[in-house]
Amino acid sequence: MAEGQIRQSLSGFYDVFSDGELYRTRARGNFRKKRITPLVGDRVRFESSSPKEGYILEILPRDNALTRPPVANIDQGVVVTAVASPEFSTNLLDRQLIALEVSHIKPVIYFTKTDLITDDRYQQFVTLAAAYRQVGYPVCLSREPFAQDGLDQLRTLLADQETVIMGQTGAGKSTLLNHLVPDLDLATGEISTALNRGRHTTRKVSLMPIAGGLVADTPGFSSYDTLTIDYRELGQYFPEFRALASQCRFRGCVHVNEPGCAVKAALAAGDVLQSRYDNYLQLLTLLQNQKPVYNKKK
């Protein structure tokens, strides 16, 4: 029995990477009975008589799992955010950051389409980027789109990490990947050839080796999935609120009308972004009005 990691799933087959080799495997029948689906990124125990023939016996505990793309054990999410066209919205950006925080995935912000804005508008993004760095998020922003320094910063962040790339349609996710790895098409083609499969396959999900890390090749992570958290927990997913919460007068302060609230004091002092606080209030109201979702047995 060997241990490895699922690097690609394809029509019921799972390609497991172990000791520098790829093994094509299937899931044992009892997984289906238990309604367990192996995911790309899963660490597994498997047995194999040859690189083309093997079975997954056990899925090791996951750190996290996403449904879109269906991947597990993700370390970070790069939120690709256009500064224009589609129009920039702090609300959408914050929702994406919260969705990652809820899944225990570290966010990275990468701004694209900086050639479409004036110098004055760009300076506003420089200020905004500084504010998000203050929160603790790495931010890649350069005056020229896909400039070398921004790409190098991102490559450093990708090393030794498993990463998903996310963002609105048109934000430039594929373009970013093609800038990171100019021969990306070649690389994905090679993986397919190695597995004796054509490129045009259904529901293929894979992790590609990029910049010393692994990147999920299917952008699809959305911030519009219903957040199934209690509104009282929302502040935990804003790192700057989380850091201040212990100084609030009341335990369980939701930072709205309570006296002695450290978050509101920091907001008044200009140490918390007004847009972050406004987006927090909007989401808080949404969550308060949401009917409870009882997790049905899967």
Would the annotation count 252 as a binding residue? no
Q: Distance (Å, rounded) from C-alpha 254 to C-alpha 244?
A: 12
Residue 296, burial from CB neighbour count under 10 angstroms (0-12, 13-18, 19+): exposed
Annotation-wise, does 253 bind a ligand? yes
Q: How many residues does the chain have?
A: 298
Distance between CA 290 and CA 287 in Å, rounded?
5
Q: 140 labelled as ligand-binding? A: no
Instruction: Please count the CA atoms within 13 angstroms of the CA of 291 that sit on its side-chain side.
Output: 1
Q: Is 104 annotated as a binding residue?
A: no
Is 173 annotated among the ligand-binding residues? yes
Residue 25 annotated in ligand binding: no
Calculate ∠ Cα 125-127-133, nearest 5°: 100
Question: What is the distance between the alpha carbons of residues 104 and 77, in angstroms, rounded to a whole number?
Answer: 10
Q: Is 170 annotated as a binding residue?
A: yes
* CA distance readout (Å), 164 to 92, 161, 194, 229, 272: 17, 10, 23, 22, 28
Structure tokens at 120: 């004055």
**167 labeled binding residue:** yes
Other CB atoms within a 10 A radius of the CB of residue 137 amount to 17
Nearest to 78 by CA among 23, 13, 140, 30: 140
Angle at 216 between CA 215 and CA 221, to 5 degrees: 125
CB proximity list for 160: less than 8 A, separation 6 or greater:
212, 213
Taking the C-alpha atoms of residue 88 and residue 90, their distance in angstroms, rounded to an integer, is 7
- The reply to whether 169 sits in an annotated binding site is yes
Please enumerate, by residue number, every residue annotated as part of a binding site: 112-115, 167-175, 248, 253, 255, 261
Please enumerate, by residue number, every residue annotated as part of a binding site for Zn(2+): 248, 253, 255, 261
Please enumerate, by residue number, every residue annotated as part of a binding site for GTP: 112-115, 167-175
